[in-house]
Structure 1
Amino acid sequence: MEDNGNVVRIEDNGTTSLPPVRLPSAHMALLVLLARRRKLRRLEASRQKRLWIHPVIRMKQEKGHFAMLYADLRRCPEKFQEFIQMSTSAFDGLLDLLRPQLTMQQTLLRRCISPEQRLLITLRFLSTGETYSSLHQLFHVGKSTISGIVRTTCELIFQNLRPSVMPTLTPELWLQVAEGFESKASFPNCIGAVDGKHLRVHQPPHSGSKSFNNKKYFSVVLMAVADTKYKFLAIDVGAYDSTGEARVMEASQIKQKMLHDESLPASKTLPGTTQQVPFVMVSDEAYSVTLCQLRPFPRKGLDTRRRVFNYRLSRARRYIECTFGILIKKWKICGSSIQLDVATVDAVVKACCILHNYVLDHDGPDADAEASTASLGTAINWQAAQPDDSGLDVRDIFADYFMTPEGSVPWQTACVSGTA
């Protein structure tokens, strides 16, 4: 059937259909040409954005910090230590330990980054807290490459150095720690000072307000035990909790070790007495009193006996505060806002604690270690937990002992009264 010159097809069911529209060949050729031109433009744009090696990165062998300053810094030990907070001998010892795992395979396409540069980038990041963008401009290494270098090197530092600088504590090592607290802090039967710090971090994804603390920022909790040499005996990183901070210590590995560790030494008599007293750790008022952990008496209604005990306990507890202060002063990434994912934050903080012990062993403490209290960190403001009756009895025993001639120390009364 025809309708005004157009052929109309009538189907068997009574419906009609028109034939497909056929464009002239000139129009078809134009559409093909436009499609091809758009495809060529996309290819050119992708070629301009994607480079095999960026010109800035290609210059790392000639103009990067490692190529231009590394040899000069090694000739100036003081400047080298200022650059990465570590002496050349300590750096060389750490490099020799990590070199097999930091050495990558060379290829015909590009040269790999040397172990020296990988370790230098990581230590510079930990000691200054600089961003990946800043390190990219300094070392002429890609930001994604720096991210992988930092995380991998921090994990290797923790795995390789922990057995030597933070070993598993034995009864002999516990007794050595107790001797240090008795001689330097005049607190017998003390095997460590325990405390925690909030380290500012970027909000973890899908965390809501879980890691939002009462200081109005997101943080990760670092729990630690320190000795009188300002070294970490044990650490626990990665506890995110803001609704009940007291539960962080209760659920930490440090608390479980204190309760169930069979390596803790047995009870020992206090000097000048015949009374058996268990070994304890000292903490602030945020923690609960248990058989192996002591905290100060409440601040209200203190008599002379309780003031003396709080003064003596603070003499022993200041070592963990100084340890945190030295850590944050030397490894400034812990004192800044860490803009990394959760897994990398844990690796970075653990590596800083291990490097803290490593540097103390090789380079010794700083001259101002005593003055480096934890003013750069943020103490955990916890609610007081319920005490244990057995812990209260142990605290009373220490409080009575400090009032005896055998347990008192010079200037004790003057320091408590505030006249010293």
Structure 2
Amino acid sequence: MVTPLIKREDTVMREAISPAERLAVTLRYLATGETFSSLSYSFRISRQAISEIVLEVCKAIYTVLKGNFLKIPSTEEEWHTIAKRFEDVWQFPKCIGALDGKHVVVQSPDNSGSYYHNYKGTDSIVLMALVDADLQFVYVDVGTNGRVSDGGVWNKTTLCQALMGNKLHIPPPSPLPGRIKPVPFVVVADAAFSLKNHLMKPYPENQLNSESRVFNYRLSRARRCIENAFGVLANRMRVFRAPIALSPKKVEHIVLASTALHNFLRRQKTGRALYTPVTLTDRKDLGTGDVLLGEWRAEPAPSSMVQLRATGSNNYATNAKAVREEFRDYFSTNGAVSWQQMFH
């Protein structure tokens, strides 16, 4: 698929590096995180050439895959399909995605000062992503400089603006099963985000009773999808295991290519089994309903992916509060499951 975009012609002076070898170098870099010097030794290609090849091939991978494998839904039917999977797999109805972000540590450009400095004191760009119940990236936004407050990054994304402006053809509000009050389809997130009509976050610890604890538990199950997507990405694309010593713009292309490849492999029957064996990710215990932890969690957290800081305000509009309360009440009545009291 990428050959036409990465093929180079021979010259009188030298024979061009073949598309197959260019792709092999790039995939090995993404999969292992090897240095360009190490790859230069293995492939007998200059370090400078490898630097150029990786960037060009990452751009090509994203270009050819994004249309089919990294495209945000554009119809009500597509959103309904995502919501049905969240309800079937994680027992959270009307959920259209799990949201989170990471600081991806980069090498800051010369003369950039503190422009990319994040709260950890490193330089980074922010990866914001929405995933479905099958751990596929539905939406990716990457490139915001790490200096922007973590709470502000989400508000700057095109997805947030489209959600707030009702521009995504998301189905209209409707009641939860067995209920009367219409509620919107929602995204689930953690405490780093602010509660909105379309964005559900946990109740803070100082506001917990039995019903809100159940809500937090049920939300945490659905939110595991984004945890696992990032976990798999860093486990299989080991370029993310350590800070990436490249400029922010180059890292953007690496992130976009990696997330598109992740989706591509997750959708191929053979590729999926090799890329994400069943035991690698969190999964539901069919006997107890509890969650069995995936093997990716046994690895130390990747030093190139830093969690967003919790800056979400606990001040929110009355209507957003009412939406969360309706989900809370549903999970303790019509939507209750036998095992939730054991684990919340």
Equivalent residue for 2:330? 401
CA distance in 2 between partners of 1:332 and 1:210 (Å): 26
- Equivalent residue, structure 2, for 1:205: 110
Aligned to 1:67: none
1:98-137 deviation digits (Å, cap 9, x = unpaired): 1112221122321100000000001111111111111111
Residue 275 (structure 2) pairs with residue 369 (structure 1)? no
> 1:253: Cα distance to partner?
1.9
Partner secondary structure for residue 101 of structure 2: strand
Give the counterpart of 1:286 among 175, 192, 199.
Answer: 192
2:126 is aligned to: 221
Distance 1:380 1:167 in 2: 24
- Partner letter of residue 366 of structure 1? P
SS in structure 2 of the partner of residue 263 of structure 1: coil
> Alpha-carbon deviation of 1:214?
2.1
Aligned to 2:221: 315
**Greater relative contact order, per chain length (Cα 8 Å cut-off, separation 6+):** 2
Report the 3-state secondary structure (helix = DSSP H, G, I; strand = E; otherwise coil) of the residue aligned with 1:198. Answer: strand
Distance 2:320 2:29 in 1: 43
Unmatched runs of 5 consecutive residues or more in structure 2: 283-293
3-state SS of the aligned residue for 2:205?
Answer: coil
Instruction: Name the stretch that deviates more: 348-357 or 212-221.
Output: 212-221
Residues 1:145 and 2:49 aligned together: yes
Q: Give the deviation of 1:159 after TM superposition.
A: 1.0
Matched, 1:380 2:316: no
Q: Which runs of 5+ in 1 are unaligned?
A: 1-96
8 Å Cα contact 2:123/2:146 also seen in 1: no
Q: Is the 8 A contact 1:287 1:295 kept in 2?
A: yes
Distance 1:380 1:397 in 2: 28
Question: 2:169 aligned with 1:263, yes or no?
Answer: yes
Residues 254-282 of structure 1 show CA distances to partners (whole Å, capped at 9, x for unaligned) of 21232232411111221122321110000
The 1:262/1:322 distance shift into structure 2, 3 A limit, reads closer
Kindly tell me the number of residue pairs found equivalent between the two proteins.
319
Kindly indicate whether the alpha-carbon contact (under 8 Å) linking 1:225 and 1:235 is maintained by their aligned counterparts in 2: yes
Contact 2:196 2:317 in 1 (8 A): yes
Identity %: 35
Residue from 272, 277, 288 that aligns with 2:183: 277
Are the counterparts in 2 of residues 290 and 389 from structure 1 also a CA contact under 8 Å?
Answer: no
Moved over 4 A (4+): none
Native 8 Å contact 1:199 1:335 kept in 2: no
The CA distance in 1 between the partners of 2:260 and 2:243, in whole Å, is 20
State the one-letter code of the partner of 1:101.
L
Map residues 153-168 of structure 1 onto 2, 5 A cutoff.
153-168=57-72
Q: Say whether the 8 Å CA contact 2:108–2:248 is kept in structure 1.
A: no
> Which structure has the larger Rg?
1
What is residue 291 of structure 2 aligned with on the other side? Answer: none
| Equivalent residue in structure 2 for 1:246, among 126, 147, 151 | 151
Letter in 2 for 1:219: S
Q: CA RMSD in A?
A: 1.5
Is the CA contact (8 Å cut-off) linking 2:142 and 2:255 kept in structure 1? yes
Q: Structure 2: how far apart are the matches of 1:243 and 1:123?
A: 31
Distance change >3 Å, CA 366–CA 413, structure 1 → 2: same
Contact 1:179/1:188 (<8 A) preserved: yes
Structure 1 residues 276-295: Cα deviation after superposition (integer angstroms, max 9, x where no partner): 11100000011011111011
Report the alpha carbon displacement of residue 221 of structure 1 after superposing the two structures with TM.
1.0
Q: Secondary structure at the match of 1:300?
A: helix
